[in-house]
Structure 1
């Protein structure tokens, strides 16, 4: 087969890919594409975003670089129809073309409303809009924090209305109320006010007002961001939302503690009217004074009526005064009669107290004492004589028995003396000494060894006793309960209300009384080897 010759130039794959890339970028350097977001999973670990734009007939890959994503005023979401602005390019490695998005916006107000409704339902399901979470506003806040633009008419309206009603200390946190950074600045302002310490150099507001003038849904979109709604719901300081005019509604209106139709209405809701408050206080003061006067008048009338029924003071003590006079009159005569009676009694007893009778009584007692002394001496002598008669014969016999025993020992020794020579005795003594020396040495060491062994045993037993002692259990937080007799209480059913008990702790004892009904006695299973003794505390 013949070979076809051609003069067409040859290109490498890379050259073709780069040529296509330059052609696409030159032809579609700036485009706006409308489509539905598909496959959006948030930012990649690198910070870039990858997803697809599609319509009913085609799809195109899309990418948002990390730097552009941080500057977006509107965040892409799955299933949302958007208009993306950027440039077309190709990815040579996979022979695909894609759009590099620089700006993105919803495709019309209808899409924004659909996104707003979807977000509202999501936050409502989380309970951020629940009425139970809303707190009452302080009646008279000392410090009011305002989150708004410092250059708009909103802050002037709020300050003017507060000055008319009740001048208060106002802290303004300046923020942008629309644009890309609106949501983040509002979140920082709310969290910054909450981070202020009470009583610090910068006073912490008692109430927050988040305010903005009216505008389109795009202008107010920063107050529909999820981060702003969560910051308002999480605020420890009550929040009044005053975003837009009466017909404008944002998501923070649902999360705030109160929604005001206008910034001016927010200022009116924040503080009462000072003149009305002064008039109210004056009215309450006059009513209090009138009530006090009426109460005093009523008490005065009751006291007057009660005092009219009381007798005079002189009448109350007249009877007691008369009784005292009569008693004082009878006192002197009573004393004279008492002295006379005592004198007669003493006269009757004096006859029995003559010196002769006393001396006679003393002589009788002395005679009895001498008689008893003589009898005691004679009795002692008789006892000694009887004892001597008993022991003298025995002493005589004892002396003879001792002499006989000594004679028998001398006779026995005289028989064995000839057979005993000094040399064998010395050998036997040396042998006995050699046998006894180790025993003596061991005997001398035995007390020390025995003492050491007993001391170690005693130390071990002491440690065991300390381990098993109930005092160790008390040191771990337990208590020993004893009744009035000192017996240990092991069951709650053995006590009844009112019984006195003593509680022993690790550092001392205290008394206590049983209160309440005793608990039902629990059945404790015992093993077959249980002898019924008291259960151990351990």
Structure 2
């Protein structure tokens, strides 16, 4: 049975290639959806690609559509896309033939109403707070009297005039203005770059580095102030090493830079008032402090002057201080003469006791003993020398007896030895004689010294020595009593006398006792008790 259909039967539909079909669909969609506005939530946003384009999706509770923002359009956006942000995107629908997908090419984008902007601000605020950008510990104190103030604002608005006028009225200082856009596309980046630029200045450079920064803008709507909610501006304000004052909008306007700044001013004029003090107030304060200081110094000087007067009255006078030392000095001076007399008498008594031990009789006895000892040693030396000579003669005799048996040469050597021995013997005799002479000269010198120290030399000049009954010399008249017997020793002898006894004649003079002549060889005697030895 023949088939009614055949595989090679012709069709009435036109054939298209894949590229032709994709291009036709692309033209149809782009023509039908040339300009659309789509409301949705941004999803899958990871920032700009390395090429500068941005790829993400827009979604609602049921569907999603891919979206792309080309590099040229991205730089013109007033609001930058963020993950989870609900926006209204304006653009056109196109397809991508390589994967049979369609997407929206976004040319403009804005948040979906004020509520969306506030939600975005709150989300950023929570994120920045978690990062610590709003931490109060990061806040810096404003300098009390800055020399240079940096202002980041528009150079053509009324804000800069208000700030300059207020600073000039309060305390004129050097003001540096960094002109920026404060609204519109790219304004956020310009403000952030200005903050970074001021912080990058080197101290002491050609342009002075500011001591404080003021970021200022006049009032406006939330959209007008949106640049100061930009992430780059907030991070630049938080990282600033120069104290920063935020003066954006009016007192009721709040932006994220207000949280990151070190101080928030309600208005730009208020920021100028915070930055510098009032010069007139400072001058008045300094004048008041100067007056208080002068008064305090005057009162302090009066107080110290009174204290010194009180202390001076409490101190004793010079006469009172010197009265006791003067009295002690006078007492010491009055007793000095008597003390010298007593000291002289004491020294004289000590000298007399010492001189009593050194009597001429004792010295004579010591000389006799020394002479006897020297004589004994000389006699002993003579005997020793004689014995040595006899001993050597005996040995020589023995040698003579043995010489007869020795050769002539030995006899000659013995003869020389004998001559040498005789020479040594003669030298020994000479040495002994020399030693004896030296000993005798020493004894003579000691004798002469004894004679020179003897008090009898003084008696030869007409003086006399008074002695009591115990033969002790007397040196004071007040030591004698009436009727006391005394002996007066002259150079040629002694006489007896009595104190106050004028009726009794004086006894005949007693010749002075002279030392007995020394024996030739007296026995060795010990010195008397209590007598010191000179040798």
CA separation of 1:365 and 1:118: change in aligned 2, threshold 3 A? farther
CA separation of 1:369 and 1:314: change in aligned 2, threshold 3 A? farther
1:29 is aligned to: 34
C-alpha deviation, 1:88, in angstroms: 2.0
What pairs with 1:295-444 in structure 2 (closer than 5 Å)?
Answer: 295-351=300-356, 352=358, 354=360, 356-357=364-365, 359-360=367-368, 362-363=370-371
TM-score, with length taken from structure 2 = 0.65
2:117 is aligned to: 112
CA separation of 1:340 and 1:127: change in aligned 2, threshold 3 A? same
1:267 is aligned to: 272
Alignment match of 2:23 (pick from 18, 22, 27): 18
CA separation of 1:367 and 1:113: change in aligned 2, threshold 3 A? farther
CA separation of 1:327 and 1:70: change in aligned 2, threshold 3 A? same
C-alpha deviation, 1:132, in angstroms: 3.3
2:459 is aligned to: none
Distance 1:372 1:72 in 2: 146
Distance 2:328 2:212 in 1: 79
Structure 2 unaligned runs (5+)?
Answer: 386-535
Cα deviation 1:162-218 (Å, max 9, x = unaligned): 111111122222222122222222222222222233334433222111111111111
1:475 is aligned to: none
CA separation of 1:371 and 1:342: change in aligned 2, threshold 3 A? farther
CA separation of 1:214 and 1:365: change in aligned 2, threshold 3 A? farther
Distance 2:170 2:197 in 1: 27
CA separation of 1:5 and 1:298: change in aligned 2, threshold 3 A? same
C-alpha deviation, 1:225, in angstroms: 1.3
Distance 2:154 2:114 in 1: 25
* 1:169 aligns to 2:177 (yes or no): no
1:250 is aligned to: 255
Alignment match of 2:192 (pick from 164, 187, 208): 187
C-alpha deviation, 1:373, in angstroms: 9.2
Cα deviation 1:57-103 (Å, max 9, x = unaligned): 54322112234334433111222221222222111122222111222
What pairs with 1:445-460 in structure 2 (closer than 5 Å)?
Answer: none
2:292 is aligned to: 287
Distance 1:185 1:376 in 2: 135
Distance 1:371 1:91 in 2: 158
C-alpha deviation, 1:34, in angstroms: 2.5
Cα deviation 1:122-143 (Å, max 9, x = unaligned): 2223332233332332221222
* 1:209 aligns to 2:192 (yes or no): no
Distance 2:376 2:78 in 1: 135
Distance 2:63 2:298 in 1: 90
1:233 is aligned to: 238
C-alpha deviation, 1:342, in angstroms: 2.5
1:129 is aligned to: 134
Structure 1 unaligned runs (5+)?
Answer: 378-538
CA separation of 1:32 and 1:360: change in aligned 2, threshold 3 A? farther
Distance 2:245 2:352 in 1: 110
Distance 1:12 1:367 in 2: 169
What pairs with 1:143-154 in structure 2 (closer than 5 Å)?
Answer: 143-154=148-159
CA separation of 1:336 and 1:97: change in aligned 2, threshold 3 A? same
CA separation of 1:26 and 1:350: change in aligned 2, threshold 3 A? same
SS of residue matched to 1:97: strand
Cα deviation 1:474-515 (Å, max 9, x = unaligned): xxxxxxxxxxxxxxxxxxxxxxxxxxxxxxxxxxxxxxxxxx
What pairs with 1:463-502 in structure 2 (closer than 5 Å)?
Answer: none
Query: Which consecutive aligned stretches of 4+ in structure 1 deviate over 6 angstroms post-superposition?
Result: 367-377
CA separation of 1:358 and 1:102: change in aligned 2, threshold 3 A? farther
* 1:223 aligns to 2:223 (yes or no): no
C-alpha deviation, 1:47, in angstroms: 3.9
Distance 2:101 2:44 in 1: 17
SS of residue matched to 2:151: strand
Distance 2:372 2:169 in 1: 123
CA separation of 1:209 and 1:375: change in aligned 2, threshold 3 A? farther
Distance 1:186 1:348 in 2: 118
Question: What number of residue pairs does the alignment pair up?
Answer: 380
SS of residue matched to 2:132: coil
1:90 is aligned to: 95
C-alpha deviation, 1:268, in angstroms: 0.6
1:140 is aligned to: 145
CA separation of 1:42 and 1:330: change in aligned 2, threshold 3 A? same
C-alpha deviation, 1:307, in angstroms: 2.0
The CA RMSD over aligned residues, in Å, is: 3.1
SS of residue matched to 1:135: coil
CA separation of 1:370 and 1:183: change in aligned 2, threshold 3 A? farther
C-alpha deviation, 1:369, in angstroms: 7.7
C-alpha deviation, 1:274, in angstroms: 0.8
TM-score, with length taken from structure 1 = 0.64
What pairs with 1:35-54 in structure 2 (closer than 5 Å)?
Answer: 35-54=40-59
C-alpha deviation, 1:376, in angstroms: 12
Which stretch of the first structure deviates more once superposed, 92-101 or 254-263?
A: 92-101
SS of residue matched to 1:105: strand
The structure whose Rg is larger is 2
SS of residue matched to 2:120: helix
Distance 1:179 1:158 in 2: 23
